[in-house]
Amino acid sequence: MGTNRHGEQQLAFDFDELLREDARAQLHDWTGAPLRFTTAYYPPTLLDEAFEHWTLLNGRFASHARSHMWHRPLWNSDATTFGEHRGALFDVDLSPGPDAEGPGGLLAQMVCEPCNWHTIASSEDSAVEQWHDHAVPEWRALPVIPAAVRVRDGATLTKLAAAWIRERYPQHLQVPGAPIITERQPFATRHVPRYSPWGGYDLSATALDHPQTPSAEAAVRGPLPSATLRPRSAGRAPGRGRGLTG
């Protein structure tokens, strides 16, 4: 803690600090997801609770970078439901702290709780694509909406795009949570949640350049990018033993 003794004294009377002391005293009773980086499967609520608990113990300041724990991206904190699937996106910041050296970076995870399925990928876009491979295997065959067809006017779908999609998309994939694929400008290739006419993703056509993941199983068990998972300098690494083996 960087605060001086005086500052800490004042905080002791803070209600949050009382809660924190309680939580620290009962840390051995914690039965939720690990309070550190993990590659094991946990349902979204357990990941949320673990991260919340970490911030209670350690404060919110720079909590993403300091905790190395899974948390929901602000811009995409709701899950996407398609049929029996429900995909929730999480990020983790594995970059080394300011006083540590070594490789690190951002990883993304998509969790499909009804299936006990998850995938960990080197980017949010890649995790989203792998979830679609899992939940909507046919998505790669969907028609790409050309850039000439303006899809959105602000927050609303244009009539032109709606008609284009209605005519060309397979009937059974014009359902809640189903994605569309749109041609994009360079550097505007992020997949956007809740932007399909049915509340699914608007996937950038650049996704089709990436090969399909062989199976959900492989996505989970396959090797992770080693550079991002190498432990940082001694003392800063978030207990990794369990994480790497699952």
Q: Which residues bind Zn ion (CB under 5 A)?
A: 85, 112, 115
Residue among 64 and 85 whose Cβ is closer to Zn ion: 85
Paired with 202 in beta bridges are 180, 192
Closest to Zn ion by CB, 115 or 208:
115
Nearer to Zn ion, 66 or 132 (CB): 132
- In whole angstroms, the minimum distance from the beta carbon of 54 to Zn ion comes to 27
Cβ distance to Zn ion smaller for residue 72 or 240: 72
Identity of the residue, 112 or 192, whose beta carbon is nearer to Zn ion in the bound complex: 112
For the CB of residue 87, give the shortest distance to Zn ion in the complex, in Å. Answer: 7
CB-count exposure of residue 181 (10 Å: 0-12, 13-18, 19+): buried
Closest distance of CB 237 from Zn ion, Å: 32
Smallest separation (angstroms) from Zn ion to the CB of 43: 12
In sequence order, what DSSP letters do the residues of 16-69 get, joined into one string? HHHHHHHHHHTGGG--SS-SS---S---HHHHHHHHHHHHHHH-STTHHHHH--
CB contact at 8 A, 204 and 191? yes
Task: List the 80-82 sheet strands across, edge first.
Answer: 80-82, 85-93, 106-112, 117-121
Q: How far is the CB of 79 from Zn ion (least distance, A)?
A: 11
Burial grade of 46 (CB within 10 A; 0-12, 13-18, 19 or more): middle
